[in-house]
């Protein structure tokens, strides 16, 4: 009996399956940057203060935009080893003039990525009405939406303008009326607002830089 157990153990051990090796798949950029960047400047020309958001939302948007610039600068350098610089805050640029190129030259940049507009918000997508014994039940469904308008410049011209929109289901809640429904608030949900904004940023960077 003992030798049968030994043989069975040997058979099981010899037939153990070796797990397959893990492969890391790289993303392939959609657009080729030509000429190749040597130094990339990141800046924001979206004037949050001029939009007259309520104070908390305005401060949140300023913080999120700065985070976009700093994160993009760090991510690009990590992916490509290209030197980057992020200018925090609002940079005043007159549309259609050459000031962007002057700023690039001042910072010794061959390319620039500019945030032209920014928004993150909750959008009521639908209200579902179901009949109950006591009347009607209304459930509102909300998406979280990130919108960032980027412009990518080389030293001579605008290389690529990209409006990045990312939308995903976020929440649902019972409401009295579809018109009076109070949805989630980006200031209260600022961690999710940043997470979704960052996802949108990464989608943008994937267009140009291999991950």
Q: Which fold has domain 34-121+144-168+186-205?
A: Rossmann fold (3.40.50)
Which structure tokens are listed for 125? 């997508």
Encode pLDDT of 74-116 as tens digits: 999 999 999 999 999 999 987 667 899 999 999 999 999 999 9
Residue stretches of the chain with pLDDT short of 50: 2-3, 5-25, 178-179
In our burial notation (b when 16+ CB lie closer than 10 A, e otherwise), range 3-31 reads eeeeeeeeeeeeeeeeeeeeeeeeeeeee
Give the phi and the psi of residue 151 in degrees, each rounded to 5: -125, 135
Name the residue ranges covered by the structural domains of the chain: 34-121+144-168+186-205
Q: Which residues have a Cβ under 8 Å from the Cβ of 54 and sit 6 or more positions away? A: none
């Amino acid at each position: 009996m003992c030798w049968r157990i030994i043989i069975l153990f040997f058979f099981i051990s010899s037939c153990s399956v070796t797990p397959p090796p893990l492969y890391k798949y790289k993303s392939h950029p959609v657009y080729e940057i030509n000429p190749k960047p040597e130094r990339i400047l990141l800046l924001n020309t979206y004037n949050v203060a001029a939009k007259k958001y309520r104070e908390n939302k305005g401060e949140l948007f300023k913080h999120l935009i700065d985070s976009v610039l700093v994160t993009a600068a760090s991510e690009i350098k990590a992916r490509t080893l290209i030197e980057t610089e992020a200018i925090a805050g609002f940079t005043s640029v007159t549309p259609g003039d050459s000031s962007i190129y002057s700023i690039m030259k001042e910072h010794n940049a061959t390319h620039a990525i500019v945030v032209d507009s920014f928004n993150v918000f909750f959008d009521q997508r639908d209200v579902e009405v179901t009949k109950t014994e006591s009347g009607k039940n209304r459930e509102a469904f909300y998406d979280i939406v990130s919108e960032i308008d980027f412009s990518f410049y080389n030293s001579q011209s605008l290389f690529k303008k990209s409006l990045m929109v990312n939308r995903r289901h976020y929440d649902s809640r019972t409401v009295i009326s579809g018109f009076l429904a109070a949805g989630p608030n980006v200031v209260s949900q600022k961690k999710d607002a940043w997470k979704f904004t960052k996802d949108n940023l990464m989608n943008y960077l994937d267009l140009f830089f291999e991950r």
